[in-house]
Chain A
């Protein structure tokens, strides 16, 4: 495990009875979820199940209406969103949301904005380049001019720049060609082998169950099932709904 990525492990992410939504629309109804240090956990479910909302709640972009949210014992609802990266939470948002008019390296620099990260910028950047050699080749290229797969790598790299304890990934495979999806998941696997805790939201259920230890099935804003990845993959109901099996 690389020294650059190493963070004092041991922070448990704990959501309990989270209710959240936008205006009149409620997206989450009492969701509880737990991610232990070093674990890789998946959240799967159909479109509109509330998966993205869940991640937005964790990273502080959306304040829940009720429920508790703790990370390593700290109440995250008391912390402003922009202070969360410094606590070790990194969120790769839906559609990557790179800054297309900035270069790859500038994107990484924005990712290392918090005071604590700046001192580690070069070390972490080099680590990201070692994970994604393609990024190093394209370091001075505008991020918006890269392919979808490269942009996804860059977005993950940008999230790693804050030296997170937990990485939240929102649909990393969305819009990518099957071969590229394979590459992205291989990388996710590698990142978690380095000891990083990962919470990954995906529609690509078959792929994600191969990478994670445990998973939650989210349906219409509620946890419909949870369990070990292998158990879920074998569950006939899940197979029928999400894996196209019989």
Chain B
């Protein structure tokens, strides 16, 4: 398999960004956008095959809190904590996904089951306030002087490279998936689950595979985001709100194109900042308001997202093309 040259060149170029020593604020936005892109890309891996999850927030939270608690309570470095956290999230995903897929929980029912899972994690995080700080949130302990690297507490440039690595991995995974049998099987399943099963596709297994990959990237991004911000709270790492935001950024960018969710992440973060500036702290509701209006407008007029605009004509011609098929 020959890797496409252009994206690799792009990655190398992006890796050089900190060398231009841009302002901190700019770096902050870039890192946040990049990590959001990883979440969205992870979500879209499932979403584009009709596995619409409203609970991806649960996976961000599961890994981020695992990582932070391991560090704060046992002193285990996030270098180890993040893989463990991702594993915990993946286990959660399998625990939820396996029965769902096995028992043919699809469509609305699947979306609402994942929604419930997201809420469970949010409430658990809130309820375990002795450890997690509840809804006030928690802060990972500061690393001792000189121990920053070991504790994964570095400056913005360091996080930029880590985030870039995660993003590159997510795109690589997408690229590999597109060339695998799994994606063909999943496309068939999304089209008609019974027909797919009847030609020998192992529906449960294929769905589980994509769930594991999707959850792993969301979880990785969640933990990195928490570590970067040095702050965790249930609202931003679990529950319906953040889950819908992930979905929004993926859809706005376009979930069918590999770069779609990343475009969406840039838009989402850019929008958030623009609205924060535009409305100031006086009008805290302005951002979600505009955000929601855009989501509705996207669904009405651009269901395939920004990336849908860039698709070749014959596809772009179909305005009624589904954002995704919800297999019933």
Direct A–B touching, Cβ under 8 Å:
no
